[in-house]
């Protein structure tokens, strides 16, 4: 049951200000001796204040404010970048989905309306086989396929170089 005392605040103020018991009236001291709520308050509050003063005085060497400041700066910055990049990532995913959908529609249409993609794909292995046979012939440089292959390889190498450059630049 909650049995508080109307003089608790008065006692608490004196204890908090460090004026108990010296700056208190004899009548109040007498009240505290007979009132359980107030005597509990004085006992507990003085013990806590004493331990607090002692603990604060014995605090070990704490980390520097500057380090915490920069840590917080980094965290705020990365959180902001993450927040800003979220809609961009959504837009990228949306663009990819649209592209895939368009490509699937295109290939589906072409397969149904007969430009002969499926026949062409079926004949592709034989065709490639023939061209590789041409490459291994004594005079490959005269073949148009050779030049097409070389150009493709050059474009691939160039694209890889550009990709590497961009990746390094980002880092």
Q: What is the binding site for another protein (CB under 8 A)?
A: 2, 4, 16, 37, 39-41, 43-56, 58-60, 62-63, 65-66, 68-69, 71-73, 75-77, 79-81, 83-85, 88, 166, 170
Three-state SS at 122: helix
Nearer residue to another protein within complex by CB, 2 or 144: 2
Q: Select 58 or 139, whichever has its Cβ closest to another protein.
A: 58
Q: Within 13 Å, how many C-alpha atoms sit on residue 156's CB side?
A: 6
Q: How far is the CB of 26 from another protein (least distance, A)?
A: 23
Q: Which DSSP category does 6 fall into? A: T
- 84 vs 144, which CB is nearer to another protein? 84
Nearer to another protein, 3 or 112 (CB): 3
Cβ 40 vs Cβ 70: under 8 Å: no
In angstroms, what is the minimal distance from the CB of 114 to another protein?
37
CB of 62 to another protein, least distance (A): 5
The residue (of 29 and 77) whose beta carbon lies closer to another protein is 77
Q: Can you tell me the distance from the alpha carbon of 89 to that of 106, in angstroms, rounded to the nearest whole number? A: 26
Distance of closest approach, residue 59 Cβ to another protein, in angstroms? 5
Question: 41: closest CA among 13, 79, 75?
Answer: 13
- Classify burial at 42, counting beta carbons within 10 Å of its beta carbon; exposed 0-12, middle 13-18, buried 19 or more: buried
* Straight-line distance from the first to the last Cα atom of the chain, in angstroms, rounded to the nearest whole number: 66
Q: What is the DSSP letter of 142?
A: G
CB of 75 to another protein, least distance (A): 5
């Amino acid at each position: 049951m909650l049995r508080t005392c109307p003089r608790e605040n008065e006692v608490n103020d004196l204890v908090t200000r460090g004026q108990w018991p010296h700056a208190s009236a004899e009548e109040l001291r007498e009240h505290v001796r007979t009132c359980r709520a107030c005597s509990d308050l004085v006992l507990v509050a003085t013990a806590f204040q004493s331990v607090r003063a002692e603990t604060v005085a014995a605090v070990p060497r704490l980390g520097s404010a500057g380090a915490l400041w920069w840590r917080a700066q980094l965290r705020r910055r990365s959180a902001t970048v993450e927040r800003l990049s979220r809609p961009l990532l959504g837009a990228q995913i949306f663009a990819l989905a649209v592209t895939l959908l368009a490509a699937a529609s295109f290939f589906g249409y072409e397969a149904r309306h007969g430009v002969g993609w499926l026949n062409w794909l079926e004949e592709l292995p034989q065709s490639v086989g023939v061209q590789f046979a041409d490459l291994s012939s004594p005079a490959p440089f005269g073949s148009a396929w050779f030049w097409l292959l070389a150009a493709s390889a050059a474009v691939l190498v160039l694209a890889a170089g550009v990709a590497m450059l961009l990746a390094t630049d980002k880092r």
